[in-house]
Amino acid sequence: MSKKVRNAIIVLIFGNFLVCIGMSLIFPVMPFIKNELHLSATDMGIMNSLFAIAQLVASPIIGQLSDKIGRKPILVSGLLLYMLSEVLFAMTNWLWMFDISRTIGGLSAAMVVPTTNALAADLTTPRQRARIIGLLSAAFSGGLILGPGIGGILAKFDYKTPFWFAAVLGLLSMISLWTMLPNEKEIEKIAANHPVPAQSRPPKRASWTQAKKLFSGPMGLLFLLILISSFGLVGFESIYSLYVNEVFGFTMGNIALVLTLNGVTSLTFQALLFDRLVVWLTEKRLIRYCFLLSFLGTGWIILAHSKLEVIIATLIVFTAYDLIRPAITTLLTKASVTKQGLINGVNMSLTSVGNIVGPIVSGALLDTSYHLPYLVVIVFLFISWVMTYWIRDHFSVNLNSETD
C-alpha cells in the first residue's frame, strides 16, 4: 500500500468516526434542551428520527450519484453538510431549526458512511480490503458508542459546546479529505489495478421471491431480532438522559460519567472480547444471554432506588445491546456463502426502521408516563429472549436459484 493510499485510508476512517459521533452527540444534552425550550419528549423523539429517515431515503440515491460523479466530491460535500448541521444546531433555539439540522445531518451520514466503504474498496487490494473495511466498521461502531460520552463531557461547559466542537472537527476532516484523497483519475487508475470482486459490489435489487425466501426461512427469525434489537436500543438510548434526569435527578456530570463508562466498556467488549465470547458460547447463546441481561437490566433501572444502581444496570444493558447486533450479523454471514450484499442490505434497512420508530414511540410514551417506555422495551426484550430458543445452531440458505 502506497503512502498516498495509506493517508487516504486514515482520513476515511476519521471521517467515518466523526459522522457517527455526530449521530449520537445529542443524547446527553436532550433533557437540557427539552427543559430550557419547554419541548415534549415526542418532539425530541421526532428530532432524533429525522436523522435516520434522511439517511435511509438518501443512501441509495447517493450511492448511484457517487458512481457517476466520483467518490471524492460526495465525501467532501457530505462533510460540508455535516459541519453545517452542527453549526445550525449550535446556533439555534427553535425546534424547526433543530429538525432541519438533524435532517441535514442524516443526509451527510448517507453521503459519508457508504461512500467511504466504496472508496476504500476502490483503493485497496482484495487481500487488504477485509482489514480496511473492518477498520471502517470499527470506526462506525466506535463513533456511535463514544459519541454520547464525548457529548456529555463537553456539555458540562455548555450544552451547545459539543456541536461547536463537532463542527470544527468537520471542517478539519473536510480539508483533510480535499487535500489528501487522490483525484478521480488517480482513484480510477488504482481501482483498475485491483477491481472489486463481483460478490463485493452493490447488489442488484432483490426480487420478491428472494425477499420472501429470506424472511420465510431460518433467517427470518434473525431479521426479526435485528428489528427488535434496533428498536429497543434506540428506544432505550434516545430517552435515557431524559428518563434519568427526570426520575433520578441525574445532572449533566452524572450523564457524562455513565455514557463515558458505557463507551469504554462496550468498545472493550466489542474489540477485545467478542471473538472469545463467540468461541466460548456460540453466537446463538451469546444472543440469548445478551437479550436476557438487557431484559433484567432494564427492569433493574425501573426498580432502582439509587444512582449507583442505575449506573450499574445501564452498563449491563448497553454492553449487552452492543454485543447482540454483531452476534446476529456474524450468524447471518455464516448462513449463505452468496448474496452477502442482499443480506447486509436487508440488515441495514431493518436497523434504519428501528432507528426511526424507536425514538418516536419512546418519546410519545414518556410524555404519557415516565416508566411506560421501558415497560414496553421490557416486553419486547422478553419476547426476543424467548425467540432465541428457536434459533438454529447451524443453517444455510441458498438464494442462487432465483434470478435477479
pLDDT at 396: 53
Reply yes or no on whether the pLDDT at 206 is more than 70: no
Asked whether the beta carbons of 298 and 381 are under 8 A apart, the reply is yes
- Tens digits of residue pLDDT in 88-127: 999 989 999 999 999 998 898 888 877 887 787 777 776 7
Among 130-139, 190-199, 367-376, the range of highest mean pLDDT: 367-376
Residue 399 lies in a domain: no
| pLDDT band of 198, cuts 50, 70, 90 | very low
CATH number at residue 115: 1.20.1250.20
Q: What is the pLDDT of residues 208-261, one digit of tens each?
A: 555 566 666 667 788 888 888 788 778 888 889 899 998 999 987 788 788 888
Does residue 44 belong to any structural domain of this protein? yes
189 and 338 together in one domain: no
pLDDT at position 393, please?
61
User: Are 134 and 278 within one domain?
Assistant: no
Tens-digit pLDDT profile for residues 116-129:
877 877 777 767 76
- Domain residues for 14? 3-194
Residue 101 located in a structural domain? yes
Residue 344 has pLDDT above 80, yes or no: no
Q: Are residues 27 and 163 in the same domain?
A: yes
Kindly state whether residue 161 falls inside one of the protein's structural domains: yes
pLDDT band, very low/low/confident/very high, at 193 (cuts 50, 70, 90): low
In terms of domains, do 155 and 253 share one? no
Percent of the chain with pLDDT over 90: 24
From 64-73, 122-131, 168-177, the region with the lowest mean pLDDT: 122-131
Identify whether the C-beta of residue 147 lies closer than 8 Å to the C-beta of residue 2.
no
Q: Could you read off the pLDDT of 246-255 as tens digits, one per residue?
A: 899 998 778 8
Per the CB < 8 A criterion, the answer to whether 85 and 22 are in contact is yes
Q: Is residue 203 part of a domain?
A: no
Cα dihedral sign for 32, 81, 355, 324?
negative
Domain ends where: 194, 229, 260?
Answer: 194
Q: With bands split at pLDDT 50, 70 and 90, how would you rate the model's confidence at 205? A: very low
The pLDDT of residue 199: 43
Sequence-ordered alpha helix ranges (H) in 124-198: 126-154, 161-180, 184-193
| 330 and 236 part of one domain | yes
How far apart, in whole angstroms, are the C-alpha atoms of residue 187 and residue 197? 17
Residues 269 and 382 in one domain: yes
pLDDT of 334 over the 80 cut: no
Q: Cα separations (Å) of 148 from 206, 257, 364?
A: 36, 10, 22
181 in the same domain as 319 = no
Does 258 fall in a domain? yes
pLDDT tens-place string over residues 370-383:
899 999 989 888 98
Residues 37 and 80 in one domain: yes
Residues 160 and 293 both lie in one domain: no
Give Dmax over CA atoms of the chain in angstroms.
63
Q: What is the pLDDT of residue 398?
A: 55
- Tell whether 115 and 233 lie within a shared domain: no
What are 404's three cell numbers? 435477479
**Does residue 93 lie in a domain region?**
yes
- Tell whether the model's pLDDT for residue 343 goes beyond 90: no
Residue 202 lies in a domain: no
Are 94 and 229 part of one and the same domain?
A: no
The reply to whether 176 and 282 lie within a common domain is no
How many domains are there within the chain? 2
pLDDT digits (tens, 9 = 90+) for 8-39: 888 888 877 887 787 777 778 888 888 888 99
- Percent of the chain's residues with pLDDT above 70: 83
Q: What is the C-alpha separation between 76 and 108, in angstroms, rounded?
A: 10
* Average pLDDT score over the chain: 81
Residue with cell 432483490: 206
* Statement: residue 403 has pLDDT above 50: no
